[in-house]
Chains A and B, each alone.
Chain A
Amino acid sequence: MDEVFDVLVIGGGHAGCEAASAAARLGSQTALVTLNLDLIGQMSCNPAVGGIAKGHLVREIDALGGIMGRVIDRTGIQFRLLNRSRGPAVQSPRAQADRALYRKEMRATLEATPNLHLRQGMVVDLLVKNGRIEGVEMQDGRKLASRAVVIAAGTFLNGLIHTGRRTYEAGRAGEPASIELAKSLRDLGFRVGRLKTGTPPRLDGRTIDWDAFDPQPPDEHPIAFSFSTDSISQLQLNCYVGYTTEKVHEAIRSNLQESPLYSGKIKGVGPRYCPSIEDKVVKFGEKNRHQLFLEPEGHDTNEVYLNGFSTSLPAELQQELIRMIPGMSEAKIIRPGYAIEYDFVDPRELGPDLQTERIAGLFHAGQINGTTGYEEAACQGLVAGINAARFLSSEGEFRLQRDESYIGVLVSDLITHGVDEPYRIFTSRAENRLALRHDNADERLQPHGRELGLVGDSDWERFNSRRDRIARFSQALENTRIRKSDKEYSALAAIAQGDLGDSMTLAQLSKRAGITPDIVRSLLPGDLAQTPFTLDFESALADSLYSGYLKSQHAVSARLRQHDSLKLPESFDYRGLAGLSHEMCDRLERSRPQTFGEVKRIPGLTPAALSTLLVRLMTQDPA
């Protein structure tokens, strides 16, 4: 062996960066191996972080001690809180990134991390002995020893790019595909499938008639992703919104034979929520225009990302189509869009720690697990990195529950249901959506991060002060009453357009239509009305808004969990149970659950198998 590490991470994308950073900070000598050190933290597709539910993930990553939130806070060029008009549980931060700056900042963050070693090169083989990982072999012949390996190879595994009828092997445009590593995974017996994703063309901003588009301004007061960020001070930019026309659609329709999607060349399944422009035109033929976002790629570049126009049509046709868009008659493409097919490994082969069941010490994170999105990848990298370090120190696995985090929802969805298209997070995937707010990710997860050892002293202190402030606000909301005799009463009743009774607490008042947070704030006693901690106050209000629903939701889930305490007999015979595959029987026999509740938490059990088991348990002789 040429070098020896504790943990080795393959890939320097969003999953790989989090994995390497977490493992190193937990004390493991960690290597991050990547094809090109200058492209660490590269955003392969749109230059943005966050979005609905995705923003929640980033804040959870941050609360646990991950790095994505800090890096985007320093490099974001347009921050917006989405769904502002809706309840706080479904609001989510999003930011356009300066693509180059994000890479630079990410690399600097990794380089400043003790125990973390960057290595450039291509991994071509996994060294496995007796079902355990022992290291990797590089294309240049080096062998790196490591008892824990995280594969975070993104779209590089057997990557195949399509533009029009042309195809070529590549991991991203201009970078080589990872063919041998993909082969070694297949040789090890992993169940491998194909997925597809795509990206739109990038344009030269100097060739666009910007007046033809509607500006989309940034938020006046940007909401940061990281709980450690005081404020966003860098210059903020506009994005622009425009639309395609029937003429564009017509041209696409008459050239569908040029599209590898429609000629049958692409076999992999693409994400439904990121359809190509070809897909949009074909599947929603009745729509006479499709929305486009023009997103600047950074402060120091003319490059513009044409969000909404993902395509795998031939490059010269892309150029023609772009020119049909109003405001783009002179526009020039800098980089054409393309589709890419790549290998993924069935995530049902993983445990909740993202370790493969097949090979001890081998972890998978990001697109290899069938997900799409930087945020989805990053949170898996974090979970895998933490668990790789804990695997070596024989500490127990770290897992998050569905009811406490979107990360828990994502991991449990992946390992339980697998994927048949690229998996993206949605708020509707979380049963406990109302409790999982972006602004209370710290309340939910920072104690975990602290216990793991990823949250430092100053962040922990910051967390505790914020928690105290929220508690003071909450108390004041519950304990301060507005009474008929108060001078503000009649004005408030007029705003709320209704009877406020003899008296009500500020918490009750805040739920009335028309009553804004500012009004409630002005009614707080003493110095609370003036303290500058608006975000903390809003968190207290949100806690109060949802508290009643959370209680009744609790009752519903208690009903759904009412059978969890049913005991399984010691010698329970799963083989005799209809509807269970041999594989599931093996899993159950290995883990020997004691109660029905424990059975439910075993990944991979179908609802049908569960209800069969439940009926059996309920009809069994109680003796």
Chain B
Amino acid sequence: MNTIVALATSVGRSAIGVLRLSGDDSLSILSKLTQSESDPDPGRAILRSIRDPRDRQLLDHALVTFFKAPHSFTGEDIVEISCHGSPIILRQLLDVILSLGARLAEPGEFTLRAMSNGKLNLSQAEAIRDLIDARTTGAARQAVRQIGGELSNRLAPLKDELLTLIVLLESSLEFAEDDLPELQATKVHEAIGLLRERLAGLAQTYDVGHWVADGIKATIAGRPNVGKSSLFNALVRFERAIVTEMPGTTRDSISEEINIKGIPVSLTDTAGIRQAKDHIETIGIERTHRAIADADLLLVVLDGTIELNEEDHLLLDQARTTRSVVVINKSDEPSFRNPNAANHPDVNPLVVSALTGSGLDKLRAAILAPFGSVDSEAVGLLVTNARHYDLLQRALEAVDSSSDLMAEKASEELVLVGLHDALRFIGEITGETTTEDILTQVFATFCIGK
């Protein structure tokens, strides 16, 4: 396998920068760089002078680590060179390595090699991408669990159960002449039902799981000067939005991401809704409406020191028809009176003060509440990937059709259609089950053959 190289850390100045090589020539390239005859011990970091072998020019003092095949990420020989994080040095070193016969890795190629060398399955590889992209600890934790194969492990007993059922039904079809135990239709039907429940349980975790991975888009809306930007700043914990006494200060929508119990929440502050005074404000208000339409959650802010007006009521109407949280701001002001939201009985407003921070913890909890009361940092494994969810959903439908056919007392070859499909769909997450695997199980289970 030819040898690939890439910068493993991000481009730009940093304390250290790591170059990673994978392939048969990794070690020989390293020895040319370090002018050293003896191979480094696998898995141990050592300090070496790195030189350009063409002119023996010293490039850097670096920490090098050798991972010997197959005990490495890709399953091939890997060398990692940790240099000082100067983009210039790293560029130079990369050029030297390329001149020694390695080629630049394509995006994802290390993971690809790990997959094709059997070090990772597809869902683990996907999880690595998710981990690198993770924006909160919750998302990262879920990704780490999947890299460890937890999703595959969770699916493994379901797959075994499916396989057992397939083996039972297939055997009774294929070996009608053999002296096999009578097929217990009721038991098979029950087992299919149980399997269905377990699959459904796993698929259901996506309800929460996809928010963990994809995040929640929350839009703050209200009429001008109710304190939307103050609340926004209070939630993101720094002065991101400009706050003044003047109504209509926020002309454009701005967004920041916050982390609530491990779930990434993208918070958007918007221009206050009113009859616009100028063209720029008109555009801003249009954007507000768009942000409201795009949001997973609408956060309506009311001003507790003044009466509700028509615009407030319009927003409250909207809040009733979508996922929403209503807050009444400025609880710190002496003139604060809890305005009567009685004509909006479905709305359960929270009282907060953006200025003092009072009520903000409750608000954070309330933002998550409509998405399944879940603490992603505490719960078990969640399905976070849309592809996995889709496949589980298809597997579920397939098992359902088998269950219906069992109820109709249909012949085995029809019941088996759904079970085989389900196995195939689950196989797309965890890796294939071949006919040969099924036959092996058949012959291990039953004494077959004349």
**How far apart are the CA atoms of A396 and B450 in the complex, in Å?**
41
Mark out the residues of chain B between 119 and 173 whose CB falls within 8 Å of any chain A CB in the assembled complex. Answer: 122, 170, 173
Could you tell me if A51 and B411 are in contact, using CB atoms closer than 8 angstroms? no
Question: When the two chains form the complex, which single residue of B108, B116, B450 contacts A619, counting CB atoms closer than 8 Å?
Answer: B108
Contacts of B438 in A (CB 8 A): 428
Q: Report if B307 contacts A (CB, 8 A).
A: no
B271 to chain A, nearest CB (A): 39
A548 to chain B, nearest CB (A): 10
Question: When the two chains form the complex, which single residue of A274, A560, A615 contacts B450, counting CB atoms closer than 8 Å?
Answer: A274
Q: Report if A139 contacts B (CB, 8 A).
A: no
Contacts of B173 in A (CB 8 A): 52, 83, 86, 90, 427-428
Binds A, one of B176-184, B201-209, B358-366: B176-184
Mark out the residues of chain A between 74 and 88 whose CB falls within 8 Å of any chain B CB in the assembled complex. Answer: 82-83, 85-87
Q: Report, as a range, how many residues of chain A touch the other chain.
A: 35 or more
Could you tell me if A308 and B439 are in contact, using CB atoms closer than 8 angstroms? no
**How far apart are the CA atoms of A611 and B421 in the complex, in Å?**
19
Q: Report if B424 contacts A (CB, 8 A).
A: yes
Could you tell me if A426 and B439 are in contact, using CB atoms closer than 8 angstroms? yes
Q: Report if B278 contacts A (CB, 8 A).
A: no
Q: A273-B443, A427-B174, A428-B439 are in contact. Are A553 and B417 (CB under 8 A)?
A: yes
Q: Report if A265 contacts B (CB, 8 A).
A: no
Could you tell me if A272 and B178 are in contact, using CB atoms closer than 8 angstroms? no
Nearest CB in chain B to that of A82: its residue:
B176
Question: When the two chains form the complex, which single residue of B2, B107, B178, B424 contacts A560, counting CB atoms closer than 8 Å?
Answer: B424
Mark out the residues of chain B between 379 and 434 whose CB falls within 8 Å of any chain A CB in the assembled complex. Answer: 408-414, 417, 421, 424, 432
B342 to chain A, nearest CB (A): 51
**How far apart are the CA atoms of A272 and B417 in the complex, in Å?**
25
Could you tell me if B176 and A52 are in contact, using CB atoms closer than 8 angstroms? yes
Q: Report if B339 contacts A (CB, 8 A).
A: no
Nearest CB in chain A to that of B4: its residue:
A576
Q: Using an 8 Å CB-CB cutoff, how does the interface string of A430-453 with B read, 1 for contact, 0 for none? A: 000110000000000000000000
B443 to chain A, nearest CB (A): 4
Question: When the two chains form the complex, which single residue of A308, A433, A609 contacts B413, counting CB atoms closer than 8 Å?
Answer: A433
**How far apart are the CA atoms of A609 and B117 in the complex, in Å?**
10
A551 to chain B, nearest CB (A): 12
> B116, B408, B435, B443 — which one has the most chain A CB atoms within 10 A of its CB?
B116
Contacts of B122 in A (CB 8 A): 611
Contacts of B178 in A (CB 8 A): 291
Q: Using an 8 Å CB-CB cutoff, how does the interface string of A592-623 with B read, 1 for contact, 0 for none? A: 00000000000000011101100110010000
Contacts of A44 in B (CB 8 A): none
Could you tell me if B414 and A87 are in contact, using CB atoms closer than 8 angstroms? yes
Q: Using an 8 Å CB-CB cutoff, how does the interface string of A548-584 with B read, 1 for contact, 0 for none? A: 0100110010001000000000000001111100000
Contacts of A51 in B (CB 8 A): 177
Q: Report if B378 contacts A (CB, 8 A).
A: no
**How far apart are the CA atoms of A280 and B448 in the complex, in Å?**
8
Q: Which residues of A does B touch, CB under 8 Å?
A: 46, 51-53, 82-83, 85-87, 89-90, 271-275, 280, 283-284, 287, 289-291, 293, 307-308, 310, 417, 426-429, 433-434, 513, 549, 552-553, 556, 560, 575-579, 607-609, 611-612, 615-616, 619
21 sample A-B contacts, Cβ–Cβ < 8 Å, listed by A number? A51-B177, A52-B177, A82-B176, A82-B177, A272-B443, A272-B448, A273-B448, A275-B448, A290-B447, A426-B174, A426-B439, A428-B170, A428-B173, A428-B174, A513-B409, A549-B417, A560-B424, A578-B112, A608-B115, A611-B122, A612-B116
